[in-house]
């Protein structure tokens, strides 16, 4: 094992930054490992107001997720890293498909983790303790990155990096090494801009930097249970995530083309064919989208959203669509039967509903009587 005795704190920090950049990280900063007091206050406050909805993650235990010392005993410093996932937009496919948010086009968190792990490995080789955290409920990545000077909080609650915007996944290396921290977080650079507010399809941004998860499509298509009827039309063709507030953000529009994966990258997966998704086995479905957050790892959550997208985008004269809805109207899972009712009514396919008129499940019966705006003018 090598030692770091010959390296000062500043020299060690520069060394680690060089390693991280060589491993593909596009921005790296350092902060101390004290409690993330800003996030702790915010998480408790918003959780008490109900803004978290059913979301857990760092809301589950704010005192834990804001204390780096619980993630690594003896923690003294945190190295924050960002990996870009922007790039050219993907063209819509010819097949009826569900759209995927950019951060899940491929396993960018895997790329981020490998970059951070290169730093952690070097620290361990030098005799320190180090642990990597990304997309983990043990630590609030955005607050770490903010405190480390990587960017400022946008009005949509994303962290915006100077000159490049928010097309980044964020993570941390927590270590007991003493490293010189950033002492001056970046000032807000959004100014009076409200484009993210105006672009949100469900008005989920309820204040600067405040997102109501109960209205946010990015959360609603991940969460378990039914998609609230009042937000189903707004789902549009979104199968996983929502990029609307980022798509309109001026820094993202100006600088996003040069960051991350490009349209001709064969490893990206921006669209998932819906009829395929609604026909394959659970195992096949999870093989393709298993890196996504799926509530309780239940494929019905993804299929439920796919049924809503059918209602919003499909051609009611398409036999594959009619046959698929017919199968789901007699599915053993009442959640899927209920969403198939909504999709059928949205498409004006009332004749399909005879199979569920006497369905004993109350959620199915509610779907049969609630108002639905048919895309073709019948309701």
Catalytically active residues are: 135
Cα 166–chain centre separation? 12
Helix (H) or strand (E) holding 28: strand 27-32
DSSP letters spanning 47-61: HHTTTTTT--GGGS-
Cβ–Cβ under 8 Å, residues 353 and 325: no
Nearest by Cα to 282 from 300, 305, 294: 300
Tokens 């094992």 belong to residue: 1
CA pair distance 203, 190, nearest whole angstrom: 19
CA pair distance 208, 175, nearest whole angstrom: 33
Query: Residue 247 half-sphere exposure, CB side, CA atoms within 13 Å?
Result: 13
């Amino acid at each position: 094992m090598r030692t770091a005795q010959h390296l000062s704190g500043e020299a060690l920090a520069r060394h680690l930054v060089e390693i991280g950049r060589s491993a593909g990280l596009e921005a790296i900063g350092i902060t101390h490992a004290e409690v993330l007091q800003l996030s702790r206050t915010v998480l408790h406050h918003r959780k008490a107001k109900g803004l978290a909805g059913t979301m857990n993650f760092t809301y589950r235990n704010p005192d834990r997720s804001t204390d780096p010392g619980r993630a690594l005993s003896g923690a003294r410093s945190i190295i924050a890293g960002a990996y870009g996932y922007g790039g050219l937009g993907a063209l819509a496919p010819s097949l009826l498909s569900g759209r995927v948010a950019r951060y899940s086009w491929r396993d960018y968190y895997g790329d981020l983790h490998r970059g951070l792990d290169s730093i952690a490995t070097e620290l361990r080789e030098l005799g320190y303790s180090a642990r990597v955290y990304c997309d983990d409920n043990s630590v609030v990545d955005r607050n770490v990155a903010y405190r480390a000077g990587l960017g400022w909080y946008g009005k949509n609650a994303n962290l915006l990096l100077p000159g490049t915007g928010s097309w980044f996944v964020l993570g941390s290396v927590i270590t007991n090494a003493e490293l010189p921290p950033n002492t001056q977080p970046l000032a807000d650079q959004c100014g009076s801009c409200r484009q993210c507010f105006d672009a949100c399809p469900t008005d989920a941004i309820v204040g600067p930097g405040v997102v109501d998860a109960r209205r946010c499509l990015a959360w609603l298509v991940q969460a378990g249970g039914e998609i609230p009827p009042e937000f189903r039309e707004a789902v549009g063709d979104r199968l996983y995530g929502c990029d609307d507030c980022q798509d309109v953000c001026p820094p993202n529009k100006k600088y996003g083309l040069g960051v991350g994966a490009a349209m001709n990258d064969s490893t990206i997966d921006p669209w998932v064919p819906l009829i395929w998704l609604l026909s394959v086995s659970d195992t096949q479905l999870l093989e393709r989208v298993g890196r996504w957050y799926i509530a309780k790892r239940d494929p019905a959550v993804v299929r439920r959203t796919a049924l809503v997208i059918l209602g919003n985008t499909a051609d009611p004269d398409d036999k594959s669509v009619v046959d698929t809805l017919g199968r789901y109207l007699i599915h053993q899972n009442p959640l899927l039967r209920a969403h198939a009712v909504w999709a059928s009514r949205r498409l004006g396919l009332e004749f399909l509903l005879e199979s569920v008129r006497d369905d004993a499940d109350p959620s199915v019966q509610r779907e049969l009587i609630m108002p639905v705006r048919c895309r073709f003018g019948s309701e």
